[in-house]
Amino acid sequence: MSDLTYLTALQLRDAIAAGEASAEQAACAHLDRIGRLNPTLGAFLDVWEAPAIAQARAIDARRAAGRPIGPLGGVPVALKDNLCTRHGATTCGSKMLADFHAPYDAHVVERIAAADGVILGKTNMDEFAMGSSTEHSAVGRTVNPWATHCVPGGSSGGSAVAVAARLAPVALGSDTGGSIRQPGSFCGVVALKPTYGRVSRYGLVAFASSLDQIGPFGRTVADAAWLLRAVAGRDPRDSTSVDAPVPDYLATLDQPIEGLRVGIVREFFGEGLDSQVKSAVDVALSALQGRGAKLVEVSLPHATRYAIAAYYIVATAEASSNLARYDGVHYGHRAASPADCLDVYLSSRAEALGEEVKRRIMLGTYALSSGYYDAYYLRALKVRRLIRNDFDAAFKQVDVVAGPTSPTTAFALGARSDDPLAMYLCDVYTTACNLAGLPGINVPCGFDDAGKPIGLQMMAQAFEEEKLLRAARMYEQTADWSARAPAL
């Protein structure tokens, strides 16, 4: 059979089910490709070669014995390294957790194992998921497979690269302000942030608890829909996990939405948008119109103007609280020779946390401090409500809203490392989705003149992933960008 790493996840599932390939062959093909390309790309932090092969062999043995196999059917999956796993370390790309071994598996890890997905290992990320380029990992940077002098986006850059470079058919990441969708755009893969509460966060190392959400990467919309179905659903261990039915997304995926109304966000096409990105997104929207969609201009005034500011107050405030536990006593790295009790905290955190994480902790602590709470944090929460109101008003007119995922294509490594504000503005179109708790998806929609991918973003009302996926599939059927692969 042809190279198994070039099959989509569903093609690979079907090939294994038909006996044209085995789960072990699929795992070994991807592990071999990881071994050859990961030293250059830096997508994986930890490769689970022996456990993956053992798991694949067990699945093949059960199949040979006529016993039932789970819906993931032996297909390999990669995990972002902020998902707790009993096997191996869970580092969050930080020196603080370099030796942390979780005593339990995250809910999504349990679901993947129960569904007979074969876990290949843990992928690189910006430290504690704080970044937009995967340059802030303490373990080493990840590069874009389409242009290795460029960033892959972040913070889930390792997972995006793993799928784009055919190191894994599908992967999981986390999205707090665009950390799935933005690297999906930079790397040319489908990347889905589900509704807040659709997927349990149990076992996800917290960055900003009211914003974080786990979601899938895939080469096609169908692959992402398939993996979402496997991990979504109520989990009593996560109080924010919603007890709502999980549709069979694949069952309706290829059914076009009759009279689909697509809201074109007026403010997403203004200052700061790269001309080539705008052109590709315009062509994509025209293609949807050619499939019968109606394009309607909508406005998200607060979402566009204030989302970045509100996000970087809410997210950093929650980060300040969540990361207080990493103090050299409760969790993580401890300084070797502290002078006294206070120095345990000061030295341990100074030694083990990177500059971007320190910056966000300080911003969040300041926003929550006496005298500033009302001026910053409380005001940001009020703006968050206004942003949700913007979306509620838009969805009275349309089924989904659409625009670019990122204002630019992937930028050069190091180009924005010394300019945090420029880095933060990478997420200008994605943060509002998290503040409103809505589902959003990136779908590849072209390439710039340098051969770097461009992404189309769509967002829908809460828990309308089925509609969002069908709309994304309607566009995907007009232009199969997933068939293109980086030359590695």
Residues near 470 by Cβ (< 8 Å), separated by ≥ 6?
Answer: 252, 253, 255, 256, 257
| CA atoms of 291 and 352, how far apart (whole Å) | 52
Concerning whether 179 is annotated as a catalytic residue, the answer is: yes
Nearest to 93 by CA among 55, 66, 127, 53: 127
The 10 Å CB-count burial string (b at 16+, else e) for 14-45 is ebbeeeebbbbbbbbbbbebbeebbeebbbbb
| Pairing, β 170-175 against β 76-80 | parallel
The catalytically annotated residue of 22, 132, 179, 482 is: 179
Bond from prior residue into 155 cis (ω within 30 degrees of 0): yes
347 a catalytic residue: no
**Beta-carbon contacts of residue 147 (< 8 Å; ≥ 6 apart):** 410, 450, 451, 452
- Of the residues 94, 132, 133, 155, only one is catalytic, namely 155
- CB neighbour class for 182 (10 Å; exposed up to 12, middle 13-18, buried from 19): buried
- The alpha carbon of residue 132 and the mean position of all alpha carbons in its chain are separated, in whole angstroms, by 11
Task: Give catalytic residues, as residue numbers.
Answer: 80, 155, 179
